[in-house]
């Protein structure tokens, strides 16, 4: 594999030192760690991620597919009709994504006003567009087995962005501190359902991608969740976690599990490791596996 693991995000704080609740600020910028003491920097710029996956380490000149045209033709000579069609579809998807990144860069270079003036040219101002590009990068990377592991931080808990397409006009972080007011709880739930729908589109993308004797979702395991059980009080207990995919038959699916109070979140992560064939004795403060 070209990339051992992929780490993507939508925004970086760039902060250092101590943040809320005396946590080191690094926890605001990454959910991926190489060890207990080594955080992995997450990539916010789609162009950087694209070159990481598909580049050759040199400064990009022209279209990626134009640069490797000769290799593509040589590869096609050894493929049958079905494989050639699949290769061409994959290359079309890569080119389409490259063009989308190029369009974003050109639009931002001439924009009079940007949501974040210091954001890289490759970063769309639209949260939805940014997330869609990052999800497509992950799908393409998994499909070609450029990597088998990907982490994606879709936002920060303290983000006060207004997600207009959710139909709610109140800022996200403000709603998360709803003071138990039913009207605000309903609005916060609507925003969270909207976010889950965006993830569902990624899962559908994986499901519609043929892979061996099934599809890419069959052979993957996707974790989507939150570090907050009750955002109003910053309660880290009873975390909502969704697991999707079948991990090549290791995950049954169509289950709902309400864990006993005090069950470590690390039990979920240990279970995932073992479902994926990693013979780990334990993970962090895990105390056992989940029955999934």
224 by DSSP, 3-state: which?
Answer: strand
83 lies in some domain: yes
Residues 126 and 226: their CA atoms lie apart, in Å, by: 22
79 lies in some domain: yes
276 lies in some domain: yes
Reported as a pLDDT band with limits 50, 70 and 90, residue 18 is: confident
Asked if residue 232 lies in contact with residue 254, where contact means CB atoms within 8 angstroms, the answer is no
Question: pLDDT tens, 150-201?
Answer: 999 999 888 899 999 999 999 999 999 999 999 999 999 999 999 999 999 9
Give the CA diameter of the chain.
65
199 lies in some domain: no
- Asked whether residue 61 carries a pLDDT value surpassing 70, the answer given is no
- Asked whether residue 64 carries a pLDDT value surpassing 70, the answer given is yes
**What pLDDT score does 46 carry?**
97
CA 282 to chain centre: 25
192 lies in some domain: no
Burial environment of residue 243 by CB neighbours within 10 A (0 to 12, 13 to 18, 19 or more): buried
Residues 226 and 224: their CA atoms lie apart, in Å, by: 7
As given in the structure block, the two tokens for residue 204 are 């559908």
Last residue of a domain, one of 156, 172, 199: 156
User: Rounded mean pLDDT of the chain?
Assistant: 91
**What pLDDT score does 112 carry?**
86
Question: pLDDT tens, 195-233?
Answer: 999 999 999 999 999 999 999 999 999 999 998 999 999
Structural domains counted in the chain: 2
130 and 6 belong to one structural domain: yes
Last residue of a domain, one of 99, 134, 156: 156
147 and 271 belong to one structural domain: no
Burial environment of residue 148 by CB neighbours within 10 A (0 to 12, 13 to 18, 19 or more): middle
Range of the domain at 138: 1-156
Question: pLDDT tens, 256-283?
Answer: 999 999 999 999 999 999 999 999 999 9
Residues 102 and 116: their CA atoms lie apart, in Å, by: 19
Q: State pTM to two decimals.
A: 0.93
Name which of 223, 193, 218 is nearest 206 in CA terms. 218
Asked if residue 25 lies in contact with residue 16, where contact means CB atoms within 8 angstroms, the answer is yes
């Amino acid at each position: 594999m070209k990339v051992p693991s992929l780490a993507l995000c939508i925004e970086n704080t760039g902060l250092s030192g101590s943040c809320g609740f005396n946590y080191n600020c690094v926890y605001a910028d990454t959910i991926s760690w190489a060890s207990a003491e080594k955080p992995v920097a997450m990539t916010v710029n789609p162009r950087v991620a694209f070159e990481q996956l598909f580049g050759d380490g040199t400064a990009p000149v022209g279209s990626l597919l134009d640069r490797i045209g000769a290799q593509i033709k040589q590869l096609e000579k050894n493929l049958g009709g079905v494989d050639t069609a699949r290769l061409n579809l994959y290359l079309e998807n890569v080119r389409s994504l490259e063009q989308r990144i190029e369009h974003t860069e050109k639009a931002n270079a001439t924009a009079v006003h940007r949501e974040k003036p210091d954001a890289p040219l490759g970063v769309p101002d639209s949260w939805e567009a940014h997330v869609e590009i990052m999800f497509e990068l992950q799908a393409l990377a998994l499909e070609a087995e450029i990597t088998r592991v990907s982490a994606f931080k879709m936002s920060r808990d303290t983000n006060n962005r207004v997600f207009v397409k959710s139909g709610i006009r109140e800022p996200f972080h403000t709603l998360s501190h709803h003071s138990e007011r039913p009207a605000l709880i309903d609005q916060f739930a609507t925003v969270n359902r909207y976010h889950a729908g965006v993830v569902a589109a990624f899962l559908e993308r994986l499901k519609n991608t043929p892979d061996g004797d099934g599809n890419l979702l069959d052979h993957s395991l996707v974790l989507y969740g939150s570090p907050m059980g009750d955002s109003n009080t910053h309660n880290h207990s009873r975390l909502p976690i969704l697991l999707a995919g079948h991990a090549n038959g290791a995950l049954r699916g169509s289950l709902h599990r309400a864990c006993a109070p005090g069950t470590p979140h690390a039990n979920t992560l240990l279970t995932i490791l073992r479902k994926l064939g990693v013979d780990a004795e334990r993970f962090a403060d895990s105390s056992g596996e989940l029955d999934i």
